Structure 1
Amino acid sequence: MQARRSLVLAAAGTLVAAVLSQTGAHSAVAQPPAQTADAMAVDAAASLVDSRPSQLHASANDSFVRHGVISSTNGLKYIPYERTYKGMSVVGGDFVVVTNATGQVLHTSVGQSDTINLTDTTAKVTKAQAEATAKSALSKVDSTGAAEQVVYALDSTPKLAWKVSVVGRDDEGPSKLDVIVDAATGQVLHKQEHVLHGTGTSGWNGPNPVTIATTQSGGTYSMKDPNLTNVSCQDAANNTTFTKSTDTWGNGTQTNRETGCVDVLFAAQTESKMLSQWLGRNGFDGNGGGWPMRVGLNDQNAYYDGSQVQIGKNTAGQWIGSIDVVAHELGHGIDDHTPGGISGSGTQEFVADVFGATTEWFANEPSPYDTPDFLVGETINLVGNGPIRNMYNPSALGHANCYSSSIPSTEVHAAAGPGNHWFYLLSQGTNPTNGQPTSTTCNNTTITGLGVEKAIKIFYNAMLLKTSGSSYLKYRTWTLTAAKNLFPGSCTEFNTVKAAWDAISVPAQSADPTCSATGTVTVSNPGNQSSTVGTAVSLPLSASGGTAPYTWSATGLPAGLSINSGTGTISGTPTTAATSNVTVTAQDSTGKSGSASFSWTVGTGGGNCSGQKLANPGFESGATSWTATSGVIGQHDSNGQPSHSGTWSSWLNGYGSSHTDSLSQSVTIPAGCKASLTFYLHIDTAETSSTVYDKLTVTAGSTTLGTFSNANAASGYVLKTFDVSSFAGQTVTIKFTGVEDASLQTSFVIDDTALTLS
């Protein structure tokens, strides 16, 4: 076996805080007979969550809080959830359920990768110690919030932690920081900044006079939007909204604050129209509102901090309230108020740049104003150096055109390069015919763009799939899923999204969806099912493609079960022990149909449902009963990888080069039995980023039970548990597959496996 290196702990993932309008704790409440589209979406999501499918990684101590339904175009609905564990908030435990216009569940986007199983919830680090640690994160601290005990489960093994908010200043200026402190060691697990600094162009828009909507009260007019809650433009010197006796504003002087507010309010109202007309979004926060915008920041900068937008000036003293600056900063607010909160791992600035560029295109101003293009800061020299970012060729300004593993740790504005390049290729392609410049790719391919409106619809709907711990890799999966959901029956958009990610070197992910035949209905196969006589079941099904709504039917259902023709949910209580071959069919409104077939075994739950079924579960008999890549099963203590118990274990990967290892065994699970797969897993890595590069995938037959990566690295072994009861009555192959990329090793060490019946 090739020599492998000693291993180091992976860096913790990125923390983001979802800021959503809470509608209350989830409960499965019967809906009135005439359901609205939102009610159908809530009901479908509730049914799914109540069934606690494996993808939620739900423990017996988990509870869920549902937030408000987010509506998008094409009838899509997004229902975000937060998670608590024994009453504590779970950082990284959020997820989103997506439904179509008829309440069918299309997709579930889950942030958490492991089930929480904390043996001790008593913190060794005191609350005061955690607060003191958090204060040290800023050079100047104005205030510190009380430490809150949480579970940290963001792309890592769940840990007990403290969450502390501190407000003050750092090297870049104002700071509003959430600090996560390990409750056992006192180490900082993660920091999340809520003041998002941006930079932009001049405050000139036109042609003049521009039209802005203001509020009149008696004989006084104010620069307050009459249709958007909390949206106004103020003087940053005193946070007072500009008012006057006439509805004529500004004098055309770019150093005048009132003139700056004309530009700011005009840009904000233009972006609000774009959100409504192109994306179906109600205001910047999704609920018809936004934040005060303040002109007068004494800095070559602008920022959003969760409660306001501050607009600064260029080196000539001119306020920088142009369309792309204001839309960029408000784009941070949109990001903050979609599921998963502020994007991380180097994606947050490209997200905001996308909203800046899109609003420019929606406004379509003529020259010499802020014309539609893909330059950031092109109408004024913010610091005397011309545009500050170039979306069609980021390298022209020293930023990367192509993604690499170093991007997530790059300075956030420079890290926007690959994402900006991706959006340009998606919307304009490599050789636009509308006067925009050509753009090269990192793989020498040619791409035909979809146009800005279609591109932003796909990207925005990907943001509605966002969970905490977002990254370039996850945005690839989310945008592919969004394209498939938005344009069922067409693969053109999906293939363009995929080609654009490939063109900037963001690699394919195991969670990426696929797109095949056009104009057909595809029913998602739920896999083989197992249940017990007398125990109620509920199995939601989903379909895509064709033209909704779907009409559902089924053949071969076990006695006592039926399918709801409108929702596609199979429910009831099985009455007879038997194995059935079930076929479910969804027919769309035009008569096209698709089907999926699977077996359903109903057992009595008694008899032979006990014991452990894997042979040689701890590998103490070497490779007996297992099939494995050479060198995986062995006595690895001398190489720095001790076993969990005994002297033998299985060590997958750890080479620091492109390599695939596997370990498998076939096992028969008796009909009618509950079955649980458990194993102890130790992961260590030389990767220093939370980005996923090396993966271990656990499968039962063709079903993926779980995926682990370098981002899950931790000291010691961690017990993993998966319910495999759905394979009762079958012989199934349990398989572990480790895939390592070209550099920086990750080792996956497995020991003491078991498949236990009950």
Structure 2
Amino acid sequence: MVVAATAATAVSPAAAPAPVTPAAASTLAANSAANLVAGKPAFLHAGSEDKFVQRSVISSAGLQFVPYERTYRDLRVLGGDFVIVTNSSGQVTATSSAQEQTIEGLSTSPKLTKAQAEKVAKGQLKTVSGVESTDLVVYALDGAPRLAYESTVRGTSAEGVSRLTIDVDALTGAVLKTRERVMEGTGTGWINGSVTISTTLSGSTYSMTDPGMTTLKCQDAANNTTFSGSDDVWGNGTGTNKETGCVDALYVAQQEKAMLSNWLGRNGFNGSGGAWPIRVGLNDQNAYYDGTQVQIGKNTAGQWISSADVVGHELGHGIDDTTPGGISNGNTQEFVADVFGAATEAYANNPNDPRDYQVGEEINLVGSGPIRYMYNPSLAGDDNCYSSSIPGEEVHAAAGPGNHWFYLLAEGTNPTNGQPTSTTCNGSSGLVGVGIQTATKIMYNAMLMKTSTSSYLKYRTWTLTAAKALDATCGLFNKTKAAWDAVSVPAQSGDPTCTGGSPSPTPTATGGSPSPTPTSGTCSGQKLGNPGFETGSASPWTATSGVVDSSASEAAHSGSWKAWLDGYGTTHTDTLQQAVTIPAGCHATLTYWLHIDTSETTTTVQYDKLTVTVNGASVATYSNLNKASGYTLRTIDISAYAGGTATLKFTGTEDASLQTSFVIDDTAITLS
């Protein structure tokens, strides 16, 4: 495997202009939230000795999310957190609160000493390598509030490496709750082929450090040393080689970083431009995130498992950890991370690891194929449907209903883009997906309302609130609701309702109100003009000279005309683009037939490339390595661009020698 390191910048899809600047919107939100909290509304269950600490405002999709933490007599309250949501004008549209009762008269004098509490905490692990911290807190996560000590202990459990947070009753010594910080997952690695990664040059030494995010780096787990060298060529294509494992890992992480920015508007993995080191070399058949790092292990053949669905999943735990409320509770954390793994795999769109909504599909990790199937969890022995037993199941098995919901939301029951069909738990059929980008955006905005008491039931409410805010026509809301109904997650009293239009927002405990108002229209038909280029001219496409062509040197897929990009054998760039309107709430599928031939002989280096973008964001990339003897049908879900103008653009770039021809024909953007 040979990898050239170059930096690339992706452009976010176009959005409707905001009425105020982002900085002003954040300030308005912070002030509005502070004024609301000062009045101690009923949903806060505020006591006379409570204080409220406002955290940084998070902006997403035209909304502002203002997280708060709570103290009681200056002690941190576990389960006292809440989030206030405003529009860009500072008007409160929704709230979400973890605490359900007022704390009054609770003594803050413990009977146990700190050392006694730490002894209890250490006893929860098989071996202990150290105690990171122990603090006196108020435990209000369930039942009556209690005084407690919270410790975080490192060591090993019966399952392996552990970083465990333990809450111990400060009066009785009883263990109130444990939370494992090591979030485990598993899958494939060494599969991405020849890829481009961004590295850092210092003096004459290159290192596997992201130049724009220096906390994102790939290291040897044996000594936590970042891989470095005198040239910018990495890995050897062998799955058992750690540097090769790091090529895959850093490539995936940088793809996820771009996805977070372009799809979700998030600044890095932790929301403030940062990440965690990725370390390849764990001597175990798994991978994990623990709040400080991502560790990548191996399969039974000793190959490092740095695939999109593994690295994306583990970094997804970090995203979950650094959104309001921390790591999701109620046995939802693994499905949340699977969403980010699937989204990263889809965004990367690597032909060696195509989008498939499976986890660990590229290798036979322990002799049983993929470890999870989002479209049919029962294939791996997990539940397709939610029941009251899910919160008590093994955490990975409990991901089944959430993964099934996400698949139905993104793809529906009968996708037309090559993805598998999916059944429902309530007998419903004909569910039409919103596309993985929009589904991920709904999930992410729901996470920005997350509190420490998250659960499947609350995620239903939060995603409905997010969907309603993203689409005032109620199209996304109805599809989100149908998907939850289809996996048997029951309706909740706090669920918002949606009847269309643009009503004035009304603050509620868990409801929401739309901010943007997308255009609506008919969800049927093909939108591209001159899709097969048979008019003999580019119009209504815009193309560089000579792209629309009828010569016999490259055959059309059908008819006589096609679009032929590059093929000159010299440094050259060709473009082809057209803008269409996609009504809000529509499912939009981009299809085109693509033929690639080349005089390049390499099997490892991408010298010439074709990039497909929508509103500047990459949705597909190809190169001389994808050459084939005939045309191949390519299908891409672009439903995320519903509600506005989508500019489709093909860009072919060719280097100084040896031609590569990218030939496109019979294009379509079809609505349903």
Tell whether the structures are fold-level matches, with TM greater than 0.5: yes
Q: Are 1:360 and 1:370, in contact at CA under 8 Å, matched by a contact in 2?
A: yes
Aligned position for 2:155: 168
Structure (1 or 2) with the larger CA radius of gyration: 1
Amino acid at match of 1:459: M
2: CA distance, partners of 1:171 / 1:543: 43
Q: Are 1:393 and 1:401, in contact at CA under 8 Å, matched by a contact in 2?
A: yes
Q: Are 2:92 and 2:507, in contact at CA under 8 Å, matched by a contact in 1?
A: no
Aligned pairs for 1:477-556 (under 5 A) are 477-487=461-471, 489-516=472-499, 518-524=500-506, 544-545=513-514
C-alpha distance after superposition, 1:31-69 (max 9, x if no partner): x99971211111111111111111011111001111111
1: CA distance, partners of 2:245 / 2:497: 48
2: CA distance, partners of 1:526 / 1:85: 25
Aligned position for 2:37: 49
Shift of 1:230: 0.6
Aligned pairs for 1:50-129 (under 5 A) are 50-73=38-61, 75-129=62-116
C-alpha distance after superposition, 1:108-156 (max 9, x if no partner): 1111111111342222233222111111100101112453211111132
Aligned position for 1:623: none
2:345 alignment partner, SS class: helix
Q: Are 1:90 and 1:153, in contact at CA under 8 Å, matched by a contact in 2?
A: yes
Q: Are 1:339 and 1:465, in contact at CA under 8 Å, matched by a contact in 2?
A: yes
1:415 alignment partner, SS class: helix
In 2 relative to 1, CA 543–390 (structure 1 residues): closer, same or farther, beyond 3 Å? closer
Counterpart selection for 1:138 from 125, 132, 140: 125
Aligned position for 2:426: 443
Counterpart selection for 1:297 from 282, 286, 296: 282
1:147 alignment partner, SS class: strand
Say which is worse superposed, 139-148 or 89-98, in terms of deviation: 139-148
Amino acid at match of 1:519: G
Aligned position for 2:657: none
1: CA distance, partners of 2:92 / 2:101: 23
Q: Report whether the alignment pairs 1:464 with 2:448.
A: yes
Counterpart selection for 2:177 from 183, 190, 206: 190
1: CA distance, partners of 2:149 / 2:456: 28
In 2 relative to 1, CA 382–228 (structure 1 residues): closer, same or farther, beyond 3 Å? same
Aligned position for 1:24: none
Q: Report whether the alignment pairs 1:318 with 2:303.
A: yes
Aligned pairs for 1:46-445 (under 5 A) are 46-73=34-61, 75-206=62-193, 209-366=194-351, 369-445=352-428
Amino acid at match of 2:97: V
Q: Are 2:218 and 2:249, in contact at CA under 8 Å, matched by a contact in 1?
A: yes
2: CA distance, partners of 1:477 / 1:385: 35
1: CA distance, partners of 2:322 / 2:114: 29
In 2 relative to 1, CA 142–547 (structure 1 residues): closer, same or farther, beyond 3 Å? closer
Q: Are 1:521 and 1:543, in contact at CA under 8 Å, matched by a contact in 2?
A: no
Shift of 1:545: 4.2
2: CA distance, partners of 1:265 / 1:452: 23
Aligned position for 1:476: 460
Shift of 1:519: 2.2
In 2 relative to 1, CA 112–229 (structure 1 residues): closer, same or farther, beyond 3 Å? farther
2:397 alignment partner, SS class: coil
Gap regions ≥5 residues in structure 1:
1-31, 528-541, 550-758
Shift of 1:217: 1.0
Q: Are 1:522 and 1:543, in contact at CA under 8 Å, matched by a contact in 2?
A: no
C-alpha distance after superposition, 1:322-380 (max 9, x if no partner): 111100000000000000000111111111111001111111122xx111111111111
Shift of 1:184: 2.4
C-alpha distance after superposition, 1:62-102 (max 9, x if no partner): 011111111112x1111111100001000000111111111
C-alpha distance after superposition, 1:574-630 (max 9, x if no partner): xxxxxxxxxxxxxxxxxxxxxxxxxxxxxxxxxxxxxxxxxxxxxxxxxxxxxxxxx
Aligned position for 1:39: 27
Amino acid at match of 1:431: N
1:522 alignment partner, SS class: coil
1: CA distance, partners of 2:71 / 2:204: 51
In 2 relative to 1, CA 33–219 (structure 1 residues): closer, same or farther, beyond 3 Å? closer
1: CA distance, partners of 2:133 / 2:363: 43
C-alpha distance after superposition, 1:220-267 (max 9, x if no partner): 110000011311001111110011111111111111111111000000
2: CA distance, partners of 1:87 / 1:137: 28
What TM-score, normalized by structure 1, do the two folds share? Answer: 0.64
1: CA distance, partners of 2:446 / 2:508: 24
Shift of 1:520: 3.1
C-alpha distance after superposition, 1:533-569 (max 9, x if no partner): xxxxxxxxx99447589xxxxxxxxxxxxxxxxxxxx
1: CA distance, partners of 2:106 / 2:177: 22
Shift of 1:521: 2.0
Q: Are 2:92 and 2:506, in contact at CA under 8 Å, matched by a contact in 1?
A: no
2: CA distance, partners of 1:295 / 1:441: 39
Aligned position for 1:634: none
Paired residues, what number?
497
1:417 alignment partner, SS class: helix
1: CA distance, partners of 2:25 / 2:122: 47
1:419 alignment partner, SS class: helix
2:504 alignment partner, SS class: strand
Q: Are 1:521 and 1:546, in contact at CA under 8 Å, matched by a contact in 2?
A: no
1: CA distance, partners of 2:458 / 2:380: 26
2:128 alignment partner, SS class: strand
Tell me the C-alpha RMSD between the 2 structures: 2.0
Aligned position for 1:22: none
2: CA distance, partners of 1:34 / 1:313: 43
Q: Once the two structures are aligned, what percentage of the paired residues are identical?
A: 63
2: CA distance, partners of 1:68 / 1:143: 31
1:338 alignment partner, SS class: coil
2: CA distance, partners of 1:524 / 1:348: 30
Amino acid at match of 1:184: L
2: CA distance, partners of 1:437 / 1:80: 39
2: CA distance, partners of 1:525 / 1:276: 29
What TM-score, normalized by structure 2, do the two folds share? Answer: 0.72
Runs of 4 or more consecutive aligned structure 1 residues displaced over 4 Å after TM superposition: 32-35, 545-549
Amino acid at match of 2:289: Y
Shift of 1:525: 7.6
2: CA distance, partners of 1:311 / 1:33: 41
In 2 relative to 1, CA 547–184 (structure 1 residues): closer, same or farther, beyond 3 Å? same
2:442 alignment partner, SS class: helix
Aligned position for 1:7: none
2: CA distance, partners of 1:319 / 1:339: 32
In 2 relative to 1, CA 119–340 (structure 1 residues): closer, same or farther, beyond 3 Å? closer
In 2 relative to 1, CA 525–57 (structure 1 residues): closer, same or farther, beyond 3 Å? closer
Amino acid at match of 2:446: A
